[in-house]
Structure 1
Amino acid sequence: MTKVKERQQDEHATRARSQGREFALKLLYLFDIRGKEDADKEMPLLFAREPAHRESHSFARELYEGTASRCEELDAKIVGIAENWNIGRMAYIDRAILRMGVYELLFCQDIPPKVTISEGIELAKRYSTDKSSAFVNGILDKVFQTCCPEKT
């Protein structure tokens, strides 16, 4: 395989994962506000409304289901790291970004931590407040440093 073809495949995979993260974020936001049943019902509607590569939908499903199923465990990690923050005080969208990022850091061994952190920052810039990207960066970086030293 040529280097150009390899680079194109890598770029395709990167775009698919970025788009998958956006889908998963929307589902996790709904999960937090209205519960798992509504978020589960929304998934096929979201995928139909926003066509994408099959890989994007597959990755979104994996992230959403993995994050939602470990929500309490992820919240405990976040609260343990976020000094003077109660999980309930965090904005819904920030909470969803953090949960998804922590899930990736802890359970998605094939994704480089720097990519996970960078993608979390970008999602915060796109969907949350001006200060959220720094907050997300600080929490995810601290989770990475304390919980994933073998990935450094």
Structure 2
Amino acid sequence: MSSTARTGSRRKGREAALQMLYQMEASGVRAEQAIHLFWANLGSSREGEDFANRIVRGCETEGDKIDEIIRKVSQHWRLERMTRVDRNILRLATYELIAMEDIPRRVTLNEAVELAKRYGSDGSAGFVNGVLDRIASDLGKD
């Protein structure tokens, strides 16, 4: 797979993962049920499926660690007060930063900002970028 095709597939995977994480938080379903429901009902294309599923499962497994990392750097924003979209973008990108060493920091941050622009509110992109930049620096991710 070319890097351009992989980038497009990963972008679609991140969008699908965001939707599944949102569903998990809104309805209380577990990762496997969210994955099944999404691909059975909403996934018009299976592009990025494996990548999305890995993120969703990883966010569930590492959820406490991910939330603690986010809490540590977001001094003036309690995790519970963040919008659900922003919170889940931060979760999926933080998972990428801690678990997917083959993805450069710049790519993770840029993709998260694009998700925030597309799905978040007016200030989401700047907020997500600032929090993730601090997380990446704390993790020593170049």
Question: What's the counterpart of residue 98 of structure 1?
Answer: 90
- Structure 2 residue corresponding to 1:30, chosen from 20, 23, 27: 23
SS in 1 for 2:95: helix
The Cα RMSD (Å) is 1.5
Structure 1 gaps, min length 5:
1-7
Q: Measure the CA separation in 1 of the matches of 2:3 and 2:46.
A: 14
Instruction: Tell me the amino acid that sits aligned with residue 29 of structure 2.
Output: K
Question: What's the counterpart of residue 120 of structure 2?
Answer: 128
- Structure 2 residue corresponding to 1:51, chosen from 44, 49, 57: 44
Question: What's the counterpart of residue 21 of structure 1?
Answer: 14
* Larger Rg computed on CA atoms: 1
* Kept in 2: contact 1:16–1:53 (CA 8 A): no
Q: For each residue in 1:81-104, what CA deviation from the matched residue of structure 2 results, as whole angstroms up to 9, or x when unmatched?
A: 001211110111111000111110
Identity score, percent: 35
Question: What's the counterpart of residue 5 of structure 1?
Answer: none
Q: What's the TM-score once normalised by structure 1's chain length? A: 0.86
Q: Measure the CA separation in 1 of the matches of 2:52 and 2:64.
A: 20
Q: For each residue in 1:30-85, what CA deviation from the matched residue of structure 2 results, as whole angstroms up to 9, or x when unmatched?
A: 11111233x5334234224323345x100000000001211111111101000121
Could you tell which deviates more after superposition, 116-125 or 27-36?
A: 27-36
Question: What's the counterpart of residue 41 of structure 1?
Answer: 33
Structure with greater helix percent: 1
4+ aligned runs moved over 3 Å, structure 1: none
* Kept in 2: contact 1:24–1:61 (CA 8 A): yes
* Kept in 1: contact 2:24–2:34 (CA 8 A): no
| Alpha-carbon offset, residue 9 of structure 1 | 1.4
- Once the two structures are superposed, the pairs formed by residues 72-83 of structure 1 within 5 Å of their partners are 72-83=64-75
Question: What's the counterpart of residue 3 of structure 1?
Answer: none
Q: Work out the number of aligned pairs and report it.
A: 141
Q: What's the TM-score once normalised by structure 2's chain length? A: 0.92
* Kept in 1: contact 2:116–2:124 (CA 8 A): yes
